[in-house]
Amino acid sequence: MVAEPAAERILGRLVAAPSAQTSLFESDPGIQSYLKDTVAPLMRELDLRPEFDAMGNLFTRAGRAGGARVLLFGYAMTHPANRMLDPFTPRSAAGPDGRVHVRGRGAAEQKAAATALLLAAAELRHGQPELDGEVVVCISTAGETGRHDAARALLAAAGEPRFEWAIVGIGTDNKIGLGNKGRLDVSVRVRGRAAHSSTPWAGLDAVRGAREVMERLDRVALPGRHPQLGSPTLTVTSIRSFPEATHTVQDEVLLTLDRRLLPGDDPERALGDLRSAAAGLDGWEVELAPGPFMYPSEVAPDAPLVRLLQDAAAEIGLGPLGELWSHGAIDAGFFNHERIPAVMFGPGAPAMFHTDEESVALEDVTAAARLYEVAARKQLMPRRRSR
C-alpha cells in the first residue's frame, strides 16, 4: 500500500534534481542526467528494471509480456527556476488546507505525477495477484517542449502489441483530463533592406513590414467554438530583428506564432489561412514555415477508459472524479491520434504551474499512485480477460 512517507521521499529527490527546459530541449545533458542519475536509481531502489529508448526516455515494465498492454506516461522536464527562491530545495509544510504539501520547481506539474507513477509501478510489479498483461511506465524526456517527439520515440521502442490505453501523468488536480487544444507553431520571416538610420529612406524597414503582417494576422478569422475549450487563438510569442547593430534600419524580422487548435481543426487549413493573410505585401518579402505541431485531444465523458478510472476511484474511496479541459497542448492528443485512447490524470493543481510557490499535497500524490495501480489492475486482471 502506498504511504505518504515514501511519496515524500521520492518526490523530494526528484525536486532536488534540476531538470529544467533549455534551448536543447530533450537532448539537454541535464535532462538526460536527471533520468540516468536520479530517476533510474530510484527505480532500482523500488526493485524496478529501468530501460532507455533511443531518445533517452526512461521506462520500466510490470506484469506479463505477450498479453494486453497499457501505458502510464510521465515527464522529466520542468519549467525553468525563473524567480522561484530555493526551487530545488524540497520543503514539506502544512498548506492552507491543513494537509502536508511539498514545495519545489515541477512539484505540481510533472514531478508529483512522476512520483505517483513510480510508486504505482512498484506496486504493480510486486503486488498480488499477477497481471494478465503488461504495464509500461515511462518518464519521458519531454514536459515543456511543445512537440510529440518523446512520445513518438517511446511508442517505437515499445513495439507491439498496441497499448489498449494510455494515461498521461501530469498535474490535473486529480481530475480526468478529457481534452485539450492542439498547437501549431509558425515561423514568419519578413525581409527588407538595411540602411543607416540617419537615411531611413535608403532602406526598407523590416520592422514596418512585420507590423503590417501582424495587423493582417489580427484580422484572420479563427472559426469554431468548443463548449469547454472555447475559441481557437493566434498569438505572437517571439519577435527578433536583425542586424543587431546600432543606428541601422533593420532588414529582417523573425516572428513566432502560436496557433491553438480545437479538436477536429485542420492544421493545414489553419496554416493556409495565415499564408493568405501575409501574401502580397508590397516591397517586403514574407516567408511562413510551419514549426512544431501538437494534436488536439478529446475523449467522451462516457468513454471506456473514463468509466474505468471512475470505477477505480470508487474502489479506493475517492468518489466521483471531476473533469478537466486544458488550453495547453499535451501528448494525449498524439496517443489518441495513434488510436490509443488517452486521458490526462495526476496530482498537482494547474494553477500552481510555473509559479514561485509551486507545491503539491502529498495526500494527492498517494491517491494518484493508487488510482494508476488499480486502473491498470482492473484492465489486466486474469478474471477480466477470461470472461
Looking at residue 182, what is its pLDDT?
Answer: 97
Nearest to 190 by CA among 278, 269, 273, 259: 278
294, 313, 336 - which closes a domain: 294
Which CATH number do you get for residue 57? Answer: 3.40.630.10
Average pLDDT over residues 13-31: 95
260, 279, 294 - which closes a domain: 294
Average pLDDT over residues 351-355: 97
Centroid of chain to Cα 28:
17
Query: Does 103 lie in the same domain as 198?
Result: no
Query: Does 164 lie in the same domain as 74?
Result: yes
Query: Does residue 219 contact residue 277 with C-beta atoms inside 8 Å?
Result: yes
Query: Does 367 lie in the same domain as 328?
Result: yes
Query: Does 37 lie in the same domain as 110?
Result: yes
Calpha distance 72→288 (Å, rounded): 37
Query: Does 98 lie in the same domain as 65?
Result: yes
Range of the domain at 287: 182-294
pLDDT tens digit string along 168-223?
Answer: 999 999 999 999 999 999 999 999 999 999 999 999 999 999 999 999 999 999 99
Query: Does residue 189 contact residue 287 with C-beta atoms inside 8 Å?
Result: yes
Residue with cell 530555493: 86
Query: Does 165 lie in the same domain as 87?
Result: yes
Calpha distance 62→131 (Å, rounded): 8
| 325, three cell numbers | 479541459
Query: Does 123 lie in the same domain as 21?
Result: yes
Query: Does 68 lie in the same domain as 212?
Result: no
Lowest mean pLDDT among 128-142, 229-243, 253-267, 320-334: 128-142
Query: Does 148 lie in the same domain as 194?
Result: no
Average pLDDT, the chain: 95
Is the pLDDT at 248 greater than 90? The verdict is yes
Which CATH number do you get for residue 208? Answer: 3.30.70.360
Looking at residue 381, what is its pLDDT?
Answer: 84
Looking at residue 224, what is its pLDDT?
Answer: 96
The string of DSSP codes covering 64-84 is -TTSEEEEEEEE--B---TT-
Nearest to 379 by CA among 132, 126, 74, 113: 132
Average pLDDT over residues 322-345: 97
Query: Does 227 lie in the same domain as 159?
Result: no
Residue with cell 504539501: 101
Query: Does 110 lie in the same domain as 67?
Result: yes
Strand-pair partners of 138: 59, 73
Calpha distance 127→277 (Å, rounded): 59
Average pLDDT over residues 262-268: 96
Looking at residue 385, what is its pLDDT?
Answer: 42
Is the pLDDT at 1 greater than 90? The verdict is no
Query: Does 245 lie in the same domain as 160?
Result: no
294, 318, 337 - which closes a domain: 294
Residue 55 identity: M
Is the pLDDT at 384 greater than 70? The verdict is no
Looking at residue 387, what is its pLDDT?
Answer: 39
Give the chain's domain count.
2
Q: 127: pLDDT confidence band, cut at 50, 70 and 90?
A: confident
pLDDT tens digit string along 72-119?
Answer: 999 999 999 999 999 999 999 998 899 999 999 999 999 999 999 999
Looking at residue 130, what is its pLDDT?
Answer: 83
Residue with cell 485531444: 297
Query: Does residue 326 contact residue 177 with C-beta atoms inside 8 Å?
Result: yes
In residues, how long is the chain?
A: 387
Higher pLDDT: 319 or 316? It is: 316
Is the pLDDT at 62 greater than 60? The verdict is yes
